[in-house]
Amino acid sequence: MRNREARTFAAILALVALSAGPATALDGEVLISQGAALAGGITPNDDPGFPVTISRSGKYKLRGNLNVPAGTHGIRVTANNVTIDLNGFRIFGGNQAIRGINGINRDGLTVMNGTISNFTSHGIETRAYAIIQDMQITSNGGMGVKLDNNGRVLRSTLSENVSANIFCNSKCLIAQNVVARSVTESGIVLLTNAGGHLVLGNVISANQLYGIYSEGFTGFGNNTLTGNNLGVTGVIPVHPNVCQPACP
């Protein structure tokens, strides 16, 4: 009997210890909620409140919307090779918050399956080998997505961001997105002579300047471009496109 009681007590202590840390899903992903963000401790050096600091490589998943206060970011990523699954939820910066996900100088960031909106700067900013997929990134005061090199933006809606909806320096794949209504800039901006971009199967419409603006080698195909004030520039057709005004 005493052995059984001792085992039961030990099990209770183990559960208490687990509950003191961040919640973990059955698949090993660390769960993030508004309450967890306010409590802090999601990873080492994550202070209470925003931004949520992710300082450890791994998989993270929202279990509710994040409403971010003024003057800060939603999530700050300080480690490489981080995956953030928004799980159908939203990161919202409606009270003058700065960036939705701030991963400057970090590589291998994946963000998927949710909405980032109403930040005063960029929706997502990160460096190399990023994957942004199945997202809605709208109504941010800077760029929708700002990448450096070797990134992918896939199956997402990027619209009504004040600056470019998508920006990348070199070697990005941009495919099967809706890219619309940039307030002051082009829908897709691809810079540096390094080029090497591929833009495939997007609907690109009603952007203030170009639908696609490229300064390096960019192949584009199977896109539909309509209502962009300056059409497209700096691109090379690799498959037929539908453009109004006419494709180059």
Q: List, for residues 209-236, the tens digit of each pLDDT value.
A: 999 999 988 999 999 999 999 989 999 9
Q: Are 103 and 124 in contact (CB under 8 A)?
A: yes
**Closest CA relative to residue 159, chosen from 141, 177, 182, 176:** 182
Query: What does DSSP assign to residue 20?
Result: H
At 11 the pLDDT is 46
Q: Which whole number is the average pLDDT over 170-187?
A: 97
Q: Which two tokens stand for residue 39?
A: 């409590």
Q: Are 192 and 168 in contact (CB under 8 A)?
A: no
**Closest CA relative to residue 85, chosen from 124, 123, 64, 113:** 113
Q: Which two tokens stand for residue 77?
A: 């990523």
Q: Where are the domains of the chain?
A: 24-244
Q: Which whole number is the average pLDDT over 21-45?
A: 86
- Give the integer Cα–Cα distance in Å for 248 and 25: 50
Q: Are 28 and 61 in contact (CB under 8 A)?
A: no
Q: What is the pLDDT of residues 68-83, one digit of tens each?
A: 999 999 999 999 999 9
pTM as predicted? 0.89
Residue type, 54: I
Q: Strands 157-159 and 178-180, how do they pair?
A: parallel
Confidence bin at 98 (pLDDT 50/70/90): very high
Percent of the chain's residues with pLDDT above 90: 79
Average pLDDT value over all residues in the chain:
91
